[in-house]
Amino acid sequence: MTEDVRKDTLPNGLTIITESMPAVRSVSVGVWLRTGAREERAEENGISHFIEHMLFKGTKHRSAEEIARSADAIGGHLDAFTAKECTSFSIKVLDEHLSRAFEILGDLVKNPLFDGEHIKRERQVIREEIKMVEDTPDDLVHEIFTQTYWRGHALGRPILGTRQTVGQFERHELAAYFHRYYAPRNMVVAAAGNLEHARVADLSVREFGELPPGRPIKRSPPPVANPHIKLHEKKDLEQVHICIGAPAFSQTHERRFPGYILNSTLGGGMSSRLFQNIREKHGLAYAVFSSINAFRDAGCLSVYAGTAAGKARQAVELIVAELRRMKEAPLTAEELQHAKDYLKGSLLLSLESTMSRMSHLARQEMYFGRHVTLDEIAAGVDAVTPEQVQSVARELFSTDRIALTILGPRNHIKLTRSDLAC
């Protein structure tokens, strides 16, 4: 811990972590659950996200309108999201409104009504949200890829759920799931901004100190990757949308930093190899990039490109060629330094707000159980060598581990495992 970052744990298991930022006037506070869609059973798929919505529809003390007005009255920004391995509720306010912010968040995550009429309306809202993904092909191809890549595991199921599962949720199921997971042992309170740790701790005790700790959470087993080739037809599309994936390291893996450098060089920005080759040199795609989805015990590096139907095979060939190139030769000194500067700069720029600092604190606590300093992260990035990046590429980019999903207007594109040889 640094002097600016402090941590406490209440007797009921609630973790409190704060970062003092005296130069600002705002404070961001978040209540984070250490569980998300990953902990759902198949028949519960989408229930974490459904509950996230329901918490804003009314509590024992406030209607949905009163929740919104409570935040607006202090100029606050109230937000929430559900991910595969966490759920978050947060608010950003001026430092003078910290106590009120805690009271609003506490009411949300302790006292939901789960009113029957609200549940009925929210089913339709989330069905529309699912349709929105289906109408956004670059989102849809990633969803299809994920469902196929992590087939049979909760990580492969959509966070939103399906129309069928969402349509079946009843009040008793929502309440049971809520009481199972919304407990101090499964919670982290994170705050960043112009604050005093002791004050945040006192407010946390006020809102959550009397809650029972809850039962230990049973974690799902690690997923097993399915290196597939899947061609999915969607007739009303103008483009073919391509997602190629390979294994990546988990959130806490000791070799994660060479993995970050690899991803940055491959498709992390406008100067990346994929962007320069596929867009600038060949003009095949407007959007082309790579990204890493890392979880507590697994990860996946994916490459996305959108191109004309007649150019899909060429785009796949060029992407695979770049994977192969990462294996065949180490990065140049210039490429390596550029990737390091890009990663460190992106990190620092992303942490300029109290909300991003608060989120950073919570995620580190959930995955590492401690605060990882920016200096420690920078040192990890700076220590990466070209040989380490090449070694990672050779380990992860093997022909039998590459997966491919293509979403497009016609499915006559014929691709086999040999087309993914790298």
Report pLDDT digits (tens) over 246-280.
Answer: 999 999 999 999 999 999 999 999 999 999 999 99
More confident residue, 2 or 416: 416
pLDDT for the residue 361: 98
Instruction: Assign 2 a pLDDT band (cuts: 50, 70, 90).
Output: low
pLDDT of 412 above 80: no
Closest listed residue to residue 50, CA positions, set 130, 156, 136: 130
Is there a contact between 316 and 415 (Cβ–Cβ < 8 Å)?
yes
pLDDT for the residue 3: 72
pLDDT of 1 above 70: no
Task: Quote the DSSP letter at residue 296.
Answer: S
pLDDT of 152 above 70: yes
pLDDT for the residue 411: 66
Report pLDDT digits (tens) over 43-78.
Answer: 999 999 999 999 999 999 999 999 999 999 999 999
**Separate counts of helices (H) and strands (E) for the chain:** 15, 11
Is there a contact between 193 and 26 (Cβ–Cβ < 8 Å)?
yes
Report pLDDT digits (tens) over 309-367.
Answer: 999 999 999 999 999 999 999 999 999 999 999 999 999 999 999 999 999 999 999 99
pLDDT for the residue 108: 97
The CATH code of domain 5-208 reads: 3.30.830.10
Q: Note every long-range contact of 294-297, with CB atoms under 8 Å and residues 24 or more positions apart, other chains counting.
A: 294/248, 294/249, 294/250, 294/251, 294/256, 295/38, 295/84, 295/85, 295/155, 295/223, 295/250, 295/251, 296/85, 296/250, 296/251, 296/252, 296/367, 297/222, 297/223, 297/250
Strand 26-33 relative to strand 229-233: parallel, antiparallel, unpaired?
A: unpaired
Q: What are phi and psi of 51, to 5 degrees?
A: -65, -40
Average pLDDT on 171-198 reads: 98
Instruction: Assign 414 a pLDDT band (cuts: 50, 70, 90).
Output: confident
Cα-based distances in Å from 23 to 29, 112, 193, 362: 17, 36, 8, 21
Domain with CATH 3.30.830.10 in the chain: 5-208, 229-420
Q: To the nearest whole number, what is the mean pLDDT of the chain? A: 96
Which CATH architecture does the domain made up of 229-420 adopt?
2-Layer Sandwich (3.30)
Whether 52 is catalytic is yes
Catalytic residue among 19, 44, 52, 143: 52
Report pLDDT digits (tens) over 97-138.
Answer: 999 999 999 999 999 999 999 999 999 999 999 999 999 999
Instruction: Assign 218 a pLDDT band (cuts: 50, 70, 90).
Output: confident
84 contact partners, CB below 8 Å, separation of at least 6 = 36, 37, 38, 154, 155, 159, 295
Please give the Cα distance from 13 to 32 (Å, whole number).
13
Kindly report the pTM of this predicted structure: 0.95
Residues found in the chain: 422
pLDDT for the residue 413: 81
Is there a contact between 229 and 418 (Cβ–Cβ < 8 Å)?
no
- What is the percentage of the chain residues whose pLDDT exceeds 70? 99
Average pLDDT on 375-404 reads: 97
